[in-house]
Structure 1
Amino acid sequence: MSYLALYRKYRPKSFIDIIDQSHIIQTLQNQIKTGRIGHAYLFSGTRGTGKTTIAKIFANAVNCQTPVNGSACGHCDICQKLFENSNLNIIEIDAASHNGVDNIREINEEVKYAPAIGKYKVYIIDEVHMLSIGAFNAMLKTLEEPPSHTMFILATTDPQKIPVTIISRCQRFDFKRINTKSIENCLAQYMQLENVKIEQEALTYIAHISDGSMRDALSILEQCISFYYDECITYDKVLELVGAVNNNLIFDMINAIVNCDSTTAISICDEINTQGRSIRQFNNDLIIHVRNLLVAKTTNNDLNVLNYNKKHIEQLKAQVNNIDISDLMRYIKIFSELDIDLKSASNPKVVLEVAILKLCEPSMDIDNPVYNKIAELEHKIDKLQQEGIQNISPKKKDEIIIQQPIRLPDAIPDDILKIKRDWDDILKITPKRVYLAFNSTKAEVLEGNTLYIIYYEPNLEISLKEFLPRLIEFISDRENKSINVKLMGAKEYNIEKQKLYGSGEPPVYIDKNLQEIQTKVNFSITMKD
């Protein structure tokens, strides 16, 4: 028999072998037990989390002649053919290379025929998001009402690219990334079966860099086995193979940055480059390391979120004692920007060194707002030294002091006064967005038939002007007449009020006829009940 890659050799054959996807396994097993099997499923999730594997196991289980607790028995003819990859009822299609309308039309024709053996003919379409729009449209009708003997299982790593009309016809299952500890335990078991000697620290590191993908972890491990054949695989050997940097160098780099030791930091950059390590991988390791420091700093010693051994966590806690949270945030910001720059850099080492020097020498970071403020203060101090301190009398506030009214104000209609009194109640029955916009305003009057809406925050003017037409329409409909409404800031209103009523006295509302009499006799008139 020809050699099989590790991820193919140890591919799970039953539900019980699947790890960290219990929420999906339980649902599928219950459907098999109760006979409530759907006609279309969508499996979505990152690479290497078991989408295609579970699809094959599920396809076999629904066709198994004697299922046990929702799982295939593993002994009947159909189960044996699955193990031999000769089951004609399970058709696996790669949508990346069969993404045209004609490919889907062939499926539409084939689904009419009953399966050779078993109950269901199962189509597993991998990377289904690669289908063209025409292919998706061609699939719609068949996917919605397939023959009773047909089942579709769609697998994808990018569900956002799938039309909602397809998603709505499927039962969707989202696969989680596999836990780092689970990957580490599985790798240890496989290495015992393969009789390969490997350090536990090496397995831990492989599990971390696989980013929740079991297939990635097995691929890296297989590469290590091939390269270090008949040798004990150590942590340093794994680092060398994947082009990563030893954790000690990462700790040393952060210490150099914290101590503003640019000489040590540059020498570490030289060492990484001389060893042929990946500059971008080193930067990503620094981002993860600073993130871990931030977690260690802010979680009050509750470090369960850090999947590292006790020794590594103690190192993180010791290092972070001398670093402020604001500095850690700045490190992450600069390293994240560096990752973008490294993608297109012709000389990654120089770009890395510039970023490291910017961290070691804060004065070089011209984008740092703190240092911009310091530079501004230094400029002001220099100016004071040159010109000296001058005694400047304080400016008087710009205000209009009017002791007497300029003229008699126009009378204010009763309906305008009533709106002013009922302003809060009126706002509560306005449309929600209008209420939210004008909730902090106040209704006032000055003279005539104009209602003034007073706002106290200048930055509200733009949003208030946007909703003012809707407010005017609402009030006019409520009063069954056109209401003149004006928007005005509080400062401007007080000035206008002083002009009309002098020294800010409260308005006195005079009937139109009495106002004419008062003008002629040139005496003030007081109205009493």
Structure 2
Amino acid sequence: MHKALYREYRPQRFSDVVGQEHVIRTLKNEIMSGNIGHAYMFSGTRGTGKTTAAKIFARAVNCLNPKDGEPCNECEMCKAILNDSSVDIFEIDAASNNSVDDVRELREGIKYSPAEAKYKVYIIDEAHMLSKGASNALLKTIEEPPEYVIFIFATTEPNKMIPTVLSRCQRFDFKRITTEEMKNRMKYICERENVEAEEDALSLIARNSGGALRDALSILDRCILFSENTLKYSDVVEILGIVNIDEIFEISNAIFRNDISTVMSKINSFVESGKDIELLCSEIIGHMRNIMLLKASGNRASDIIEATDEELVKLKESSEITGLDNIIRIINILSDVQSKLKYSTDKRTSLEVGIVKTTRPAYDDSREALEERIKILERVIENGEITIKSDENPVEKTSDNKRKSSKQKSKKSETESKKSYEEVRSDDLEKIEKSWDMIMDRMKRDRKMPVRAMLLEKKSLKEHNGVLYIIFSEQFGFAKKSLTEQGHIEYIESVIKDIVHKNFSVKVILESEAKSIDVDIESEVDAGEKFLKENFPDDMLEIKDRIE
């Protein structure tokens, strides 16, 4: 029968424990000096060596031939403990033995002296699972145990332990194991197992183990069985169901360049390969976090980013594509998506909506999004890409034709200018009108029937400068009053934002009031044209693709 690597290579001596030198040194000093405590608390995340250190400690304090605080693993006591045949060493799972009756049975056993060993050692795993009653029942025994009894509590959540128990223990915090430490341990194991492993493959396993060596060895075990003693980066990607780092770079760079088609294509490939959407979202966020740290620290964060030298170079290149505010905006959007994915019935669509928001600042009302839109506008103005919508056919791109086109546009009539402005704004209005049935259905689901009934009587819609005007005939003055005075406007705005994915301020008006809006629009267009003519030469006012 195959024995798992984390069991086969479980440390047998303190010197073999990876990444916990601060704990091991103190324990060895206590053993060598004979100042052994009666209760210990080993806390830390899973797979960091808590139970392993407890078992080594149990052998070391009972070893017949200890050396420098280490167990010899050769004497009768060490062998009995290694074979789990010692009657004086107890490993208790508090997850299934957490009642007051279980503690009472334990206390009865404590009364009797060790049969063979010098100390009776009680290793209580998952100690935070002890009930409050059980913890209190054990409290007196922990405070004043017989001289031959040692308690070792191992837990991933020390905050759940009652304070009176914690105060009676020597506490040792086991830290997460670094990527480099895990890689070195895996290299040693691969050499022993005659496995050739790529450096990038081991790095990828270490990064995906969450600082837990046991998890890393479990992944390594699966990869070795899959790859037949030749461990490749591509095999690890396949087994873990994650995205290749090169594809993550392509996705992030496409987001920075607002290349939505490339990102969607990558997501489609990822989904079709049967991989987890939540994992993809997490990978992108982690990658963006690395870019953010490099951008914010002036490339001095390489020591806290888990990446190869080659990846660090590519991360630096990516960080130069966009600004720090935009990176933070993207992380905030994707983090919000990630928190909702676990409850979403359509994870793919949820992620795609979030991705669209990252590439379209206009759909995001955050401060960072506004700053990004301003930067885009500044770049457009700087490049001379001023947009004026025209009914005329596109002119040839020669300098003579450009000057001719500019002069022709300067002679446009007042009516044509007004029409141009309305066409620029027509996309938003068209989108709302197409979505109106969906907006009504949403209100029906929300059981906002009075609001829905009044909106069904609207005569028309107009949109100007982000304000949506809902226009009623004169006989529906009561609808205007009811919608405005009873606080329904905010609800209407929220529904429109959810359906159309853009913010609009809503105003309810009557037909007679709508005429003044047309006058205001006409005045603004006239003022805008006047500003352009006064501040820009004719040959700079070219027809360009309209900015969304």
1:181–1:307 Cα contact (<8 Å) kept: no
Which of residues 233, 236, 239 in structure 2 aligns to 1:235? 233
Residue aligning to 2:252: 254
1:65–1:118 Cα contact (<8 Å) kept: no
Q: Give the drift of 1:30.
A: 1.0
Residue 192 (1) aligns with residue 191 (2): yes
Matched residue SS, 2:97:
coil
Which amino acid counterpart does residue 4 of structure 2 have in structure 1? Answer: A
Residue aligning to 2:19: 20
Which of residues 267, 278, 300 in structure 1 aligns to 2:298? 300
Residue 31 (1) aligns with residue 26 (2): no
CA distance in 2 between partners of 1:299 and 1:382 (Å):
51
CA distance in 1 between partners of 2:466 and 2:72 (Å):
82
Spell out the pairing of 1:196-275 with structure 2 (5 A cutoff): 196-228=195-227, 230=228, 232-275=230-273
Residue 10 (1) aligns with residue 9 (2): yes
Q: Give the drift of 1:49.
A: 0.3
Q: Give the drift of 1:371.
A: 4.4
1:121–1:151 Cα contact (<8 Å) kept: yes
Residue aligning to 1:136: 135
Which amino acid counterpart does residue 281 of structure 1 have in structure 2? Answer: L
Unaligned residue ranges in structure 1 (runs of 5+): 390-529
Residue 320 (1) aligns with residue 316 (2): no
Matched residue SS, 2:35:
coil
C-alpha deviations, 1:480-526, integer Å up to 9, x for none? xxxxxxxxxxxxxxxxxxxxxxxxxxxxxxxxxxxxxxxxxxxxxxx
The verdict on how the C-alpha distance between 1:382 and 1:67 changes in structure 2, with shifts beyond 3 A counting, is farther
Residue aligning to 1:484: none
Residue aligning to 1:338: 337
CA distance in 2 between partners of 1:301 and 1:250 (Å):
20
Q: Give the drift of 1:269.
A: 1.1
The verdict on how the C-alpha distance between 1:369 and 1:296 changes in structure 2, with shifts beyond 3 A counting, is closer
Which amino acid counterpart does residue 169 of structure 1 have in structure 2? Answer: R
Identity of aligned residues (%): 44
2:123–2:153 Cα contact (<8 Å) kept: yes
C-alpha deviations, 1:188-235, integer Å up to 9, x for none? 11011112232221111000100110100011111122233x252211
CA distance in 2 between partners of 1:224 and 1:66 (Å):
40
- Give 4+ residue runs of structure 1 displaced > 6 Å after superposition: 372-377, 380-383
Matched residue SS, 2:152:
strand
Q: How many residues align?
A: 387
Mean Cα deviation higher: 69-78 or 19-28: 69-78
Which amino acid counterpart does residue 263 of structure 2 have in structure 1? Answer: A
Spell out the pairing of 1:375-454 with structure 2 (5 A cutoff): 378=465, 385-386=521-522
Which amino acid counterpart does residue 347 of structure 1 have in structure 2? Answer: D
C-alpha deviations, 1:65-99, integer Å up to 9, x for none? 22211121232211122232322221100000111
Residue aligning to 1:93: 92
CA distance in 2 between partners of 1:384 and 1:17 (Å):
79
Which amino acid counterpart does residue 31 of structure 1 have in structure 2? Answer: E
CA distance in 2 between partners of 1:370 and 1:324 (Å):
11
RMSD: 2.3
CA distance in 2 between partners of 1:237 and 1:308 (Å):
19
The verdict on how the C-alpha distance between 1:370 and 1:312 changes in structure 2, with shifts beyond 3 A counting, is closer
1:206–1:217 Cα contact (<8 Å) kept: yes
CA distance in 1 between partners of 2:519 and 2:183 (Å):
64
CA distance in 2 between partners of 1:379 and 1:29 (Å):
70
Matched residue SS, 1:85:
coil
The verdict on how the C-alpha distance between 1:370 and 1:300 changes in structure 2, with shifts beyond 3 A counting, is closer
The verdict on how the C-alpha distance between 1:109 and 1:266 changes in structure 2, with shifts beyond 3 A counting, is same
CA distance in 2 between partners of 1:211 and 1:116 (Å):
41
Residue 284 (1) aligns with residue 282 (2): yes
Residue aligning to 1:70: 69
Larger Rg: 1
C-alpha deviations, 1:407-436, integer Å up to 9, x for none? xxxxxxxxxxxxxxxxxxxxxxxxxxxxxx
Residue aligning to 1:152: 151
Unaligned residue ranges in structure 2 (runs of 5+): 375-424, 426-462, 468-516, 526-548
Matched residue SS, 2:150:
strand
C-alpha deviations, 1:165-191, integer Å up to 9, x for none? 110111111110011101011111101
Q: Give the drift of 1:313.
A: 0.5
Which amino acid counterpart does residue 217 of structure 1 have in structure 2? Answer: A
CA distance in 2 between partners of 1:133 and 1:89 (Å):
26
Q: Give the drift of 1:386.
A: 5.0
CA distance in 1 between partners of 2:292 and 2:518 (Å):
39
Matched residue SS, 1:304:
helix
Q: TM-score, normalised by structure 1?
A: 0.70
- Higher percent of residues as helix: 2
